[in-house]
Structure 1
Amino acid sequence: MTSSASISPAADAPIEGVQGFLVPMSCTDLPATMHFFIARLGFRLDAIFPADGPRTAILSRDGFTLKLGLDVKDGVRTLHVLCDHPEQWPGDARELLAPNGVTVRLVHANPPMMLPATRQQLVLAHADGDAHWSVGRAGMRYRDLLPERHGGAFIASHIRILEGGPVPDYVHFHKIRFQTIFCRKGWVRLVYEDQGEPFILEAGDCVLQPPEIRHRVLESSSGAEVVELGSPAEHITMADHELTLPTPFFRPERDFNGQRFVRHVAKHAQWTAWTSPGFVVADTGIGAATNGLAGVRVVRAQGQDNEATRRHDTEFCFFFVLTGSLDVTQGDKRWRLAADDSIAIPGQLPYGFSRCSADLELLEVTLPADFPLA
């Protein structure tokens, strides 16, 4: 007969019967410390003992339990309190000192998006043998196209999914100013809040992910690639444990923090003249959906005369070579760009396009969507 003491659960097995979490705190003045947590932070008293000389009190709020004890030796020294609007308190008032010496910090329960100031610079990223790919979330490979992130204001990534099939994702959303995903190769199956059934994003297609729209990546083809651009570079991703996708409603005109969802399908693209002669452009509709905040277009060379001299007034201007090749010049400098190379060009900096191959196709991302050319 096997003894129950000899049976041990697996190291990563869920612990059965968990009912809550108890956080110990030491104190020397139990009544004063109790009053602080009850009066200032809304805790309630659940237990106190012994009756003839209390040395321990159990307080709770919203599933969080404190054990205040005169005999506690190694209790916590700092407690972060999640608040709706901690910014309404002056800076010094956001940090309280309890009678037992514990520091109580008021922090955002729902942290806001933080947008650093944009620091533009000219950035070239070549997809040659020296290109660095790092392993990111869910085993995906990332190539950073904007290493210094324009001061933290922007991020641009070339992403590869090596193995196809289901993606271990969950319903989530991003606290962002702007985010777009362009399918470079293969396909990715996605689903978005109030945008109907899951759909396939194929090579040449792109989406605008408005701020805080719930979404989920379901599966992908083997070797799928996307180019993702967003602002700010470091943004908060939050899980939504309540919402199930797809939602029962189809609301393509729904406003998400001032923007609308966009799904641009490449095979339905309409081509018009670009701002420089010798090129045509397909607008994805992202400019209209963001009320002019950002523009995403695909640019093609057309005809024989494909030289352009440009200077723009933008916060952000980025080109990714989808097919073909071209020379980019700036002053006396010249760079040859080919497929999967990219360049970010600061506003007010003169530059030129020349020696464009007949099959040249560029992804152009700008903030704002429409801008004057010098």
Structure 2
Amino acid sequence: MNITVSASILPDAAIEGVQGFLIPMSCTDLPATMQFFIARLGFRLDAIFPADGPRTAILSRGSFTIRLGLDVQDGLQTLQVLCDDPSDTPGETRELIAPNGVTIRLVHANPPMRLPETRQQLVLSHAGDAAHWSVGRAGMRYRDLLPERHGGAFIASHIRILDGGPVPDYVHFHKIRFQVIFCRKGWVRLAYEGQGEPFLLEAGDCVLQPPEIRHRVLESSAGAEVIELGSPAEHITMADHDMTLPNARYDAAHDFNGQTFVRHVAKHAAWTPWKSPGFIASDTGIGRATRGLAGVRVVRPSMAGQQAARMHDTEFCFFFVLAGSVDVSASGQQWRLEPDDSIAIPGQLRYAFANCSADLELLEVTLPADFPLA
């Protein structure tokens, strides 16, 4: 049964007094169909009529009600049933057929994160006038920095919020392996589970969003920009209708599915030598917070004109130019990267940085952390 509702006829206000939903189903054997829904799916019988020759039965479970009828002509043909884990239910299959022919599909009520196999490739993204920006959630503009998503394993987005003010967000969480938000311009006001009062994420700051931490975006400055990287590329976002943010502050070592929350404030950053001589880096602490899963740093040359020949053996390596410019060469090609350009470099590929401007700043994201955690 297909139901189509035209947006032009939807009322402005919610309908008062709604108590549940009644779904019609046709059947030819009423007793057998009733027994299936009662015994197998936990429904209860609420009504049956007429008494001298039953042709209709009303069954319910919670606020969901079905009307089984010998006279129903166009009833529901497929019913999805939420289960704790349908694959582990002894003796069950993922699909059942009820006596009335309705297909019962057992689906996961809390589906797990699915991580595709990483397919690395060299990906260059320029931010010039030809760059494509799409309109995403809440009117935000998105520039895709990794169009083929490394096979679905990673996503990298440059996001702009054109209009400042309150953001129509809600308390939610993501089923992810890794996610970092880096503020590129302006500010965003955020609330996170266990972190006390909301705070401003300002240019140069970043947060690690551990798996399933509840959070909410409250407001932003006009023209705010963030760089968001996550794995996997397609992940489930779940609303939390029970938690209110802000809430009480947790212990700093509170574990969120194997990670701890990180708020890195750029003005408090400490700079130490990078892996390549002639460069320094500011560590965000994300390597330690993820137990080595991912590393996020901001990298600078110690002086103009620095060069570095590099190769890594990581699952993911990504650079975004925050300021200045640099020549990057790999596979016999060379590119000049300017602000807002980015490059993803696969493992085991030799590459080099050259002609670094004195004001060069690179955002570096790697999986795994690719540097000592001490």
Whether TM exceeds 0.5 here: the answer is yes
Q: How does 1:307-326 map to 2 (within 5 A)?
A: 307-326=307-326
Once the 2 structures are TM-superposed, how far is the Cα of residue 331 of structure 1 from its aligned partner?
3.1
3-state secondary structure, aligned to 1:142:
strand
Distance in structure 2 (CA, Å) of the matches to 1:371 and 1:349 = 18
1:353 match: 353
Q: Does 1:218 align with 2:221?
A: no
2:120 match: 120
Once the 2 structures are TM-superposed, how far is the Cα of residue 338 of structure 1 from its aligned partner?
0.4
1:291 match: 291
Once the 2 structures are TM-superposed, how far is the Cα of residue 206 of structure 1 from its aligned partner?
0.1
Once the 2 structures are TM-superposed, how far is the Cα of residue 306 of structure 1 from its aligned partner?
1.3
Once the 2 structures are TM-superposed, how far is the Cα of residue 115 of structure 1 from its aligned partner?
0.6
Runs of 4+ in 1 over 4 A off after TM superposition: 89-92
User: Does the 8 Å contact 1:312/1:371 carry over to 2?
Assistant: no
- Residue identity in the other structure for 2:303: G
- Residue identity in the other structure for 1:26: S
- Residue identity in the other structure for 1:209: Q
3-state secondary structure, aligned to 1:93:
coil
Distance in structure 2 (CA, Å) of the matches to 1:241 and 1:331 = 50
Once the 2 structures are TM-superposed, how far is the Cα of residue 367 of structure 1 from its aligned partner?
0.2
User: Does the 8 Å contact 2:193/2:246 carry over to 1?
Assistant: yes
Q: Does 1:129 align with 2:167?
A: no
1:82 match: 82
1:139 match: 139
3-state secondary structure, aligned to 2:93:
helix
Once the 2 structures are TM-superposed, how far is the Cα of residue 248 of structure 1 from its aligned partner?
2.3
User: Does the 8 Å contact 2:304/2:356 carry over to 1?
Assistant: no
Q: How does 1:265-304 map to 2 (within 5 A)?
A: 265-304=265-304
3-state secondary structure, aligned to 1:299:
strand
- Residue identity in the other structure for 2:75: G
3-state secondary structure, aligned to 1:245:
coil
Q: Identify if the C-alpha distance between structure 1 residues 90 and 147 changes in structure 2 by more than 3 Å, giving closer, same or farther.
A: farther
Distance in structure 2 (CA, Å) of the matches to 1:213 and 1:84 = 21
Once the 2 structures are TM-superposed, how far is the Cα of residue 62 of structure 1 from its aligned partner?
1.8
User: Does the 8 Å contact 1:321/1:341 carry over to 2?
Assistant: yes
Unaligned runs of 5+ in 1: 1-8
Distance in structure 1 (CA, Å) of the matches to 2:265 and 2:76 = 54
Distance in structure 2 (CA, Å) of the matches to 1:304 and 1:216 = 41
Q: Identify if the C-alpha distance between structure 1 residues 33 and 295 changes in structure 2 by more than 3 Å, giving closer, same or farther.
A: same
Q: Identify if the C-alpha distance between structure 1 residues 10 and 39 changes in structure 2 by more than 3 Å, giving closer, same or farther.
A: closer
1:6 match: none
Distance in structure 1 (CA, Å) of the matches to 2:74 and 2:304 = 77
1:339 match: 339
In the superposition, the TM-score normalised over structure 1's length comes to 0.95
Distance in structure 2 (CA, Å) of the matches to 1:232 and 1:281 = 27
Distance in structure 1 (CA, Å) of the matches to 2:14 and 2:274 = 59
Distance in structure 1 (CA, Å) of the matches to 2:317 and 2:277 = 19
The CA RMSD over aligned residues, in Å, is: 1.4
> 1:221-255 deviations in whole A, cap 9, x for unaligned?
01000000000001000100110001123332210
Q: Does 1:177 align with 2:201?
A: no
Once the 2 structures are TM-superposed, how far is the Cα of residue 363 of structure 1 from its aligned partner?
0.1
User: Does the 8 Å contact 1:28/1:100 carry over to 2?
Assistant: yes
Q: Identify if the C-alpha distance between structure 1 residues 61 and 10 changes in structure 2 by more than 3 Å, giving closer, same or farther.
A: closer
1:190 match: 190
User: Does the 8 Å contact 2:287/2:293 carry over to 1?
Assistant: yes
Distance in structure 2 (CA, Å) of the matches to 1:40 and 1:227 = 48
User: Does the 8 Å contact 2:121/2:345 carry over to 1?
Assistant: yes
Distance in structure 2 (CA, Å) of the matches to 1:292 and 1:134 = 33
User: Does the 8 Å contact 1:313/1:371 carry over to 2?
Assistant: no
Distance in structure 2 (CA, Å) of the matches to 1:35 and 1:249 = 51
Once the 2 structures are TM-superposed, how far is the Cα of residue 29 of structure 1 from its aligned partner?
0.3
2:246 match: 246
Distance in structure 1 (CA, Å) of the matches to 2:290 and 2:357 = 32
Once the 2 structures are TM-superposed, how far is the Cα of residue 17 of structure 1 from its aligned partner?
1.4
Q: Identify if the C-alpha distance between structure 1 residues 94 and 10 changes in structure 2 by more than 3 Å, giving closer, same or farther.
A: closer
User: Does the 8 Å contact 2:304/2:355 carry over to 1?
Assistant: no
Distance in structure 1 (CA, Å) of the matches to 2:114 and 2:133 = 27
- Residue identity in the other structure for 1:81: V
> 1:340-373 deviations in whole A, cap 9, x for unaligned?
000000000000000000000000000000269x
- Residue identity in the other structure for 2:213: I
Q: Identify if the C-alpha distance between structure 1 residues 87 and 313 changes in structure 2 by more than 3 Å, giving closer, same or farther.
A: same
Distance in structure 2 (CA, Å) of the matches to 1:38 and 1:295 = 53
User: Does the 8 Å contact 1:325/1:360 carry over to 2?
Assistant: yes
Distance in structure 1 (CA, Å) of the matches to 2:339 and 2:202 = 18
Distance in structure 2 (CA, Å) of the matches to 1:91 and 1:160 = 50
User: Does the 8 Å contact 1:283/1:298 carry over to 2?
Assistant: yes
User: Does the 8 Å contact 2:26/2:69 carry over to 1?
Assistant: yes
Q: Higher mean Cα deviation, 9-18 or 305-314?
A: 9-18
User: Does the 8 Å contact 1:192/1:213 carry over to 2?
Assistant: yes
Q: Identify if the C-alpha distance between structure 1 residues 91 and 238 changes in structure 2 by more than 3 Å, giving closer, same or farther.
A: farther
Distance in structure 2 (CA, Å) of the matches to 1:73 and 1:329 = 68
Distance in structure 2 (CA, Å) of the matches to 1:237 and 1:61 = 27
Unaligned runs of 5+ in 2: 1-8
Q: Does 1:35 align with 2:35?
A: yes
User: Does the 8 Å contact 1:314/1:371 carry over to 2?
Assistant: no
In the superposition, the TM-score normalised over structure 2's length comes to 0.95
Once the 2 structures are TM-superposed, how far is the Cα of residue 16 of structure 1 from its aligned partner?
1.4
